[in-house]
Every structure is written in structure tokens, then in C-alpha cells.
């Protein structure tokens, strides 16, 4: 039995469900499914607090129950499936990070995007190329994975500060937002 105390209730009410995580793009792609595979009920993706997992969050009630059931059937039979639960408003699927991307996952958590493996970078960019019609997100992510001197120079100008020659040009993930917390998705 879940009992909400005042502190849990306050945290839940202060949580901004509209904030999209960086994991929604960087980590979710590690499963290898096209971005449009997740359907219109997909809400967000979060990382685990201390283990190599991701949480895929779907909003209820489902607009397309049959479509969602196909997605669920695929994920539940995936070798990286780790569990699921449901609340009144959310459907939560826990997936392990694929073995070949565990190092990339940790680089993501540290904000070391340009240090991710070439295999991962190529897969991520190929997925974006198919999904991003305007190529705006694709260009931003490519610049983040392969930062140029020009991009660092522009960031220095924008920030009014000097950067190290190997500095990343995208901020590190805000783990207060990126880490899955049960209390945000309770009834």
C-alpha cells in the first residue's frame, strides 16, 4: 500500500512532466528502435539512479490501445526488458541498457557526448536523419557529437567565457531531471 505523505505529495506536484529529458533522445536510441516506433503515447525517457537501466514512460489513457499493445509486445520480448508497472496516469517500462552501449550510457551521464563510440554516434545520427524532417535536431546533435572549433568559438561568444579546446558544447544532463523517481509516477 502506497501512502503519500506531505513531502512526497509536494515533490509530485512540483515535478514538471513537460520537461523533455536528454535521455529521451540519447538513451532511448540505444535500444535500436526507430524514434517513431514508440507511438504518440510515448512521453519521456529517464535513466536509473545507480544501475544501467532506462525507464520508458507512456501517458494514459492510450490514444491507440492496439498500437500501444504492439509496442508493449515488442518491448516485453526484447532481450533488454527488465519490468513494467502501471499507474492511473502512466505506463512505465524498465529496460536494461544494451551491453554494447553501457560505456556510451556512462559517457552520456557525464556529458561527454563527443567521447561516445563511433558505432553509437553513427546509429544515433542515422535514426535522427530518418526522423528529423527539418534536420534542426540532427544538426545540433551532430555538432554535439563532433564539436568543431567554430562551434566552440560560437559558444564562447554566447557565454562570454573561454572554453578548453576539448570542451563539450552541450551541457551535461541535469540528473535531477533525468533520473527516474518513483514518486513522480505514483497514483
Total domains in the chain come to 2
Residues 84 and 15 in one domain: yes
Is residue 119 over pLDDT 70? yes
Residues 72 and 140 in one domain: no
Residues 164 and 182 in one domain: no
Residues 39 and 67 in one domain: yes
Q: For residue 181, tell me if it sits in a domain.
A: yes
The pLDDT value given to residue 20? 86
Hey, what's the cell of 38? 514508440
In which band, very low, low, confident or very high, does the pLDDT at 134 lie, cut at 50, 70 and 90?
Answer: confident
Closest CA to 120 of 112, 96, 66, 55: 112
Residues 96 and 74 in one domain: yes
Residue 63, domain extent: 7-100+173-187
Residue 114 burial by CB count (10 A; 0-12/13-18/19+): exposed, middle or buried?
middle
List pLDDT tens digits, range 29-75: 999 999 899 998 999 999 999 889 999 999 987 888 899 999 999 99
DSSP structural state of residue 43: E
In which band, very low, low, confident or very high, does the pLDDT at 10 lie, cut at 50, 70 and 90?
Answer: very low
In which band, very low, low, confident or very high, does the pLDDT at 91 lie, cut at 50, 70 and 90?
Answer: very high
Residues 72 and 163 in one domain: no
Amino acid at each position: 500500500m502506497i501512502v503519500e505523505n506531505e513531502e512526497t505529495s509536494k515533490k509530485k506536484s512540483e515535478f514538471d512532466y513537460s520537461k523533455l529529458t536528454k535521455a529521451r533522445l540519447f538513451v532511448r536510441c540505444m535500444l535500436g528502435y526507430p524514434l517513431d516506433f514508440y507511438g504518440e503515447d510515448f512521453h519521456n525517457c529517464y535513466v536509473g539512479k545507480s544501475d544501467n537501466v532506462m525507464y520508458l514512460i507512456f501517458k494514459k489513457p492510450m490514444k491507440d490501445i492496439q498500437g500501444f499493445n504492439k509496442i508493449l509486445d515488442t518491448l516485453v520480448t526484447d532481450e533488454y526488458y527488465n519490468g513494467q508497472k502501471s499507474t492511473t496516469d502512466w505506463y512505465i517500462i524498465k529496460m536494461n541498457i544494451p551491453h554494447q552501449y553501457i560505456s556510451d550510457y556512462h559517457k552520456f551521464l557525464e556529458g561527454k557526448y563527443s567521447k561516445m563510440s563511433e558505432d553509437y554516434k553513427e546509429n544515433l545520427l542515422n535514426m535522427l536523419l530518418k526522423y528529423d524532417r527539418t534536420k534542426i535536431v540532427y544538426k545540433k546533435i551532430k555538432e554535439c557529437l563532433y564539436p568543431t572549433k567554430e562551434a566552440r568559438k560560437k559558444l564562447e561568444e554566447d557565454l562570454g567565457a573561454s572554453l578548453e579546446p576539448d570542451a563539450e558544447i552541450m551541457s551535461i544532463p541535469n540528473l535531477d531531471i533525468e533520473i527516474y523517481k518513483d514518486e513522480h509516477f505514483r497514483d
